[in-house]
A = this chain, B = another copy of it.
Amino acid sequence: MANEKIPYKIYLEETQMPKAWYNLRADMRNKPAPLLNPQTLEPMSVDELSAVFCKELAIQELDDTTPFVDIPDEILSFYKMYRPSPLVRAYCLEEKLKTPAKVYYKFEGNNTSGSHKLNSAIAQAYYAKKQGLVGVTTETGAGQWGTALSMACAYLGLDCKVYMVKVSYEQKPFRRELMRTYGASVTPSPSAETQCGRKILAAHPETGGSLGCAISEAVEKAVGTPGYRYVLGSVLNQVLLHQSIIGLETKAALDKYEIVPDIIIGCAGGGSNLGGLIAPFMGQKLRGEADYRIIAVEPVSCPSLTRGVYAYDFCDTGMICPLSKMYTLGSGFIPAPNHAGGLRYHGMSTTLSQLYHDGLMEARSVEQTKVFEAAELFARTEGILPAPESSHAIRAAIDEAENCSLTGEEKTIVFGLTGTGYFDMTAYEKYNDGKMSDYVPTDEEIGESLANLPKV
């Protein structure tokens, strides 16, 4: 089909959908560093992890040798409700930018959860159900993950308990109601339901909560309730495995028209979207079959790859989760409030951290106002209102396309459009009113937080 005109949207047929996830770790020579038990500092075993995660997911978490994992039929059926997602040629954006570059985006927002999070939510819920569990617990900040998990649990008839950072619970009532519509119970965190929550409430009765605290509550609840396990929407290897569906579909769609990208761009918070999008391309790179520029884009306010250090750190502020070796700003780092809630994590997926450390990908950070400028341009030309998180990738894609305008190069750029911004209108309002600002953390702030890294 090489000479055919590329359509605006490339959809795979259902029969062309990937039937297995791709485990990038299998092709890595330098494997991601193991998770460590925070007490013993020894690598975590499947058995240890199984107290928190369901068994099959604990296995997936530690498996760095199996290249492909079959997607169970039940998950494939669910995927078929909203996948394959389109790979869109941004003809209108290209024209607006007058760039010789060819820009494509993989759009993951065409499902009610509004983002790619659903790809892993259904997988994690499925394995929980298969193990005979009653329900799962999780935390949510911006709410995309909590919504996705609620949808997956509603489909499978699994109980879903979400600890939502209190300030989001109050400021994002629509997200909360969306989860409730899908039957989830949503509790503002910190809550009186857990020891950890009660402790924090006693010390800071007026606190708006934090993601770190919500994680601790969700884990405590899962571990202390028979028939429950904890699930998480990013950072983990298992999540990257499930999200590889994004990259596999993207690659299949490009192959259909014999398109070879030059640059692949994704926004990076914990790494779930980026890791999924780049998986098969990075695999080719690792096997020496192809070369691509791969760019992670993060907010200047939370620059773990570009200003953090590569070291073992806690994944949560409560320090009860395993230690993970990653690019981190320190688990005590509190990013300045910004509107890309999904990118406000202090660390980064171990797998992506290792790849970045090995020079296999680039990273850059962008300012919030520049991100919304890109978001607005994108919305007006391509029609889709992007999530603030996704708009980090849009910013970088536009910058690269504009470089091509200067050099005259006809590069092919692919970026991940992870979701929609329907529940982020407060942020857009701020931008529309010219009231949005940028914050760059000082070296001192980051240094202070990094001084408290665990001694491993």
Interface contact A380-B173, CB-CB below 8 Å: no
Interface contact B14-A425, CB-CB below 8 Å: no
Whether, in the assembled complex, A136 has its beta carbon less than 8 Å from a beta carbon of chain B, the answer is: no
Whether, in the assembled complex, A183 has its beta carbon less than 8 Å from a beta carbon of chain B, the answer is: yes
A287-B426 Cα distance, complex, nearest whole Å: 52
How far in angstroms is the closest Cβ of chain B from A47?
35
A138-B421 Cα distance, complex, nearest whole Å: 25
Please tell me how many copies of the chain the complex holds: 2
Interface contact B154-A380, CB-CB below 8 Å: yes
Which of B8, B379, B426 meets A112, CB within 8 Å?
Answer: B379
Interface contact A155-B422, CB-CB below 8 Å: no
Interface contact B178-A428, CB-CB below 8 Å: yes
Interface contact A13-B7, CB-CB below 8 Å: yes
Interface contact A432-B180, CB-CB below 8 Å: yes
Whether, in the assembled complex, A429 has its beta carbon less than 8 Å from a beta carbon of chain B, the answer is: yes
Whether, in the assembled complex, A374 has its beta carbon less than 8 Å from a beta carbon of chain B, the answer is: no
A439-B174 Cα distance, complex, nearest whole Å: 25
18 residue pairs of the A-B complex, CB under 8 angstroms, read A7-B13, A8-B14, A8-B80, A8-B81, A81-B383, A82-B383, A110-B110, A111-B383, A111-B384, A112-B379, A114-B422, A154-B380, A173-B425, A174-B425, A177-B429, A180-B428, A181-B376, A181-B431
Whether, in the assembled complex, A151 has its beta carbon less than 8 Å from a beta carbon of chain B, the answer is: yes
A173-B173 Cα distance, complex, nearest whole Å: 14
Give the size category of A's interface with B.
Answer: 35 or more
A178-B380 Cα distance, complex, nearest whole Å: 11
Residue-wise interface mask of A (130-156) relative to B, using a CB-CB cutoff of 8 A (1 in contact, 0 not): 000000000000000000000100110
Whether, in the assembled complex, A382 has its beta carbon less than 8 Å from a beta carbon of chain B, the answer is: yes
A91-B383 Cα distance, complex, nearest whole Å: 30
Whether, in the assembled complex, A182 has its beta carbon less than 8 Å from a beta carbon of chain B, the answer is: yes
Interface positions, chain A 358-389, Cβ under 8 Å from B, are 376, 379-385
- Residues on the B chain within 8 Å of A383, using CB: 81-82, 111-112, 151, 155
**Which residues of A approach B to under 8 Å, CB–CB?**
7-9, 11, 13-14, 77, 80-82, 91-92, 110-112, 114, 151, 154-155, 173-174, 177-178, 180-183, 376, 379-385, 420, 422-423, 425-426, 428-429, 431-432
Interface contact B420-A9, CB-CB below 8 Å: no
Which of B82, B92, B183 meets A155, CB within 8 Å?
Answer: B92
Do A112 and B384 form a contact, CB below 8 Å, given A178-B425, A379-B181, A425-B178? Answer: yes
Interface contact B182-A380, CB-CB below 8 Å: yes
- Residues on the B chain within 8 Å of A428, using CB: 177-178, 180-181
How far in angstroms is the closest Cβ of chain B from A256?
12
- Residues on the B chain within 8 Å of A81, using CB: 8, 92, 382-383
- Residues on the B chain within 8 Å of A432, using CB: 177, 180-181
Interface contact B420-A112, CB-CB below 8 Å: yes
A92-B78 Cα distance, complex, nearest whole Å: 9
- Residues on the B chain within 8 Å of A82, using CB: 383
- Residues on the B chain within 8 Å of A384, using CB: 111-112
How far in angstroms is the closest Cβ of chain B from A379?
6
Do A7 and B112 form a contact, CB below 8 Å, given A151-B383, A180-B432, A181-B432? Answer: no
A31-B100 Cα distance, complex, nearest whole Å: 51
Further 4 A-B residue pairs, CB within 8 A, beyond A155-B383, A181-B428, A183-B380: A11-B11, A173-B429, A174-B422, A422-B422
Do A80 and B379 form a contact, CB below 8 Å, given A92-B155, A155-B92, A385-B112? Answer: no
- Residues on the B chain within 8 Å of A173, using CB: 425, 429
Which B-chain residue is minimally distant from A90 (CB atoms)?
B81
How far in angstroms is the closest Cβ of chain B from A105?
12
Which B-chain residue is minimally distant from A172 (CB atoms)?
B425
How far in angstroms is the closest Cβ of chain B from A104?
14
A381-B428 Cα distance, complex, nearest whole Å: 31
- Residues on the B chain within 8 Å of A429, using CB: 173, 177, 180
A376-B177 Cα distance, complex, nearest whole Å: 12
Which B-chain residue is minimally distant from A8 (CB atoms)?
B80
Which B-chain residue is minimally distant from A7 (CB atoms)?
B14
- Residues on the B chain within 8 Å of A385, using CB: 112, 178, 181
